[in-house]
Amino acid sequence: MLGLCSYKGPDSGEVYICLSPTAVAYHKSKDGCKGIQACTHQVIKVSKEDAIKKYKYRACKLCFR
| pLDDT over 50 at 3, yes or no | no
Residues 28-65 have pLDDT tens digits of 999 889 999 999 999 999 999 999 999 999 999 999 98
Residues 14-32 have pLDDT tens digits of 999 999 999 999 999 998 8
Instruction: Give CA–CA dist 10/7, Å, rounded.
Output: 10
